[in-house]
Amino acid sequence: MKNIEVGAAPSNWPRRGVIAFGGADAPCHVSFLAPDVNVEMQNFLGPLLPVARFLKIPVLDFDRYGLLYDAERTAEKCVPAATSFLRQYVINNKQS
């Protein structure tokens, strides 16, 4: 097993990784949270959104997420990519 200094990445790790979304159906940053958390935030914040819009208070995409409800769809694309990355570059390196 290789000893890796805390905070240091092995030299063979890729320097960058990207999952790019585009278009009208692209997720907003709220889409990356757990679906149950988003539902509860929508239940709590939803009634306040018209007031926030009227007062021109930024709502951090909660209004957009309320139209998309795409956390599960976003997770279906992102979680396999993240776990694959971790499996390949973290778990397998620890076993070497």
Domain enclosing residue 37, as ranges:
29-95
Mention every residue, 6+ apart, whose C-beta is less than 8 A from residue 73.
27
In a domain, 61, yes or no: yes
In a domain, 81, yes or no: yes
In a domain, 59, yes or no: yes
Q: Give pLDDT, residue 1.
A: 46
> What are the backbone angles phi and psi of residue 7, rounded to the nearest 5°?
90, -5
Across 1-5, 36-40, 61-65, least confident range: 1-5
How wide is the angle at C-alpha 15 spanned by C-alphas 11 and 16, nearest 5°?
155
In a domain, 15, yes or no: no
Confidence of residue 32 (pLDDT cuts 50, 70, 90): very high
Instruction: Count up the domains in the chain and report the number.
Output: 1
Across 29-38, 43-52, 80-89, least confident range: 80-89
In a domain, 4, yes or no: no
Q: Give pLDDT, residue 21.
A: 87
Of residues 83, 43, 81, 92, the one with CA closest to residue 65: 43
Q: Give pLDDT, residue 95.
A: 53
